[in-house]
């Protein structure tokens, strides 16, 4: 099978890194690979904030839920959706700024995700490990103040990069027939496939390095969707100028 496909299928989140810097030329190449990702309407609505200040790293680790690898990874990037940069030119060309439309928010957020995933693929191809840090959204106001994010910009997630100091198992994904449907949405056969998948996930959690809780996928996501999840995000986004017209 194609080596790129095999690389993508072998992705793991790395949460323990060696104390080894990333070569500056390689780091720049990773970011350029990220920039090569597709961008809707050529907006290029992502800004990356590289955190080199040790005190800021440690503070972001706290704000993200006390995740120590935020501080210990060779590089930590805060990936931001950015409508301000392009919006500056509305005034320059005497046009109204309509960046508070929901569609513009979606475009910028998707741009961030696509750019980040290109960086991740390039990094893993170079022998690096990565970990996405959605926990920055636990305290987005504090993160924004720390990084001086203006209106029109918000932190979507963080990204740890570094050389792995662990070799975790690959977490099994849903069976393809559950997520791939032809011509229309349907759920035929899903219950049986997911029941079998639940057993694989339980085994993964029971036997993975360091042990685990043995919970199934369906139990895990049922809990996720039955509880409040960062209810502060709506008001935070509004405070950053994303009012979703």
Cα–Cα distance measured from residue 189 to residue 182, given in angstroms and rounded to the nearest whole number = 13
Residue whose C-alpha is closest to residue 201's, from 184, 213, 190, 216: 216
pLDDT per residue over 33-77, tens digit each?
999 999 999 999 999 999 999 999 999 999 999 999 999 999 999
The single residue listed with the structure tokens 């636990």 is 138
Listed in order, the ranges of the chain carrying CATH 3.40.109.10 are 3-168
Task: Please give the angle made by the CA atoms of 153, 30 and 170, to the nearest 5 degrees.
Answer: 95
* Two tokens, residue 218: 């369906």
In this structure, what DSSP letter does residue 208 have?
Answer: S
Strand order in the sheet with 129-133: 46-50, 75-82, 153-162, 129-133
Statement: the pTM of the whole predicted model exceeds 0.85: yes
Spell out the CATH class of 3-168.
Answer: alpha beta
pLDDT per residue over 188-216, tens digit each?
999 999 999 999 999 999 887 566 678 99
Cα–Cα distance measured from residue 70 to residue 79, given in angstroms and rounded to the nearest whole number = 13
Residue whose C-alpha is closest to residue 111's, from 48, 169, 167, 26: 48
The single residue listed with the structure tokens 């950053």 is 240
């Amino acid at each position: 099978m194609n080596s790129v496909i095999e690389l993508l299928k072998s992705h793991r989140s790395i949460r323990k890194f060696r104390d080894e810097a990333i070569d500056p030329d390689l780091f720049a190449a990773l970011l350029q690979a990220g920039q090569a990702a597709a961008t809707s309407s050529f907006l290029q609505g992502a800004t990356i904030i590289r955190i080199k200040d040790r005190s800021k790293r440690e503070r972001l680790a706290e704000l993200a839920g006390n995740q120590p690898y935020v501080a210990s990874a060779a590089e930590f990037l805060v990936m931001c959706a950015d409508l301000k940069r392009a919006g500056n030119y509305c005034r320059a060309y005497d046009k109204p700024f309509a960046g508070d439309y929901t569609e513009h928010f979606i475009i910028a957020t998707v741009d961030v995700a696509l750019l980040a995933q290109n960086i991740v693929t390039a990094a893993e191809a170079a022998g690096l490990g990565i970990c996405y840090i959605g926990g920055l959204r636990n305290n987005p106001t504090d993160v924004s103040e720390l990084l001086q994010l203006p209106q029109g910009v918000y932190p979507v997630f963080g990204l740890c990069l570094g050389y792995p100091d662990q070799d975790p198992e690959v977490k099994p994904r849903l069976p393809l027939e559950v997520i791939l449907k032809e011509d229309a949405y349907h759920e035929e056969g899903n219950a049986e496939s997911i029941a079998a998948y639940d057993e694989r996930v339980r085994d993964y959690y029971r036997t993975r390095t360091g042990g685990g809780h043995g919970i199934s996928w369906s139990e895990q996501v049922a809990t996720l969707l039955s509880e409040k999840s960062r209810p502060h995000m709506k008001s935070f986004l509004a405070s950053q100028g994303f009012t979703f017209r």
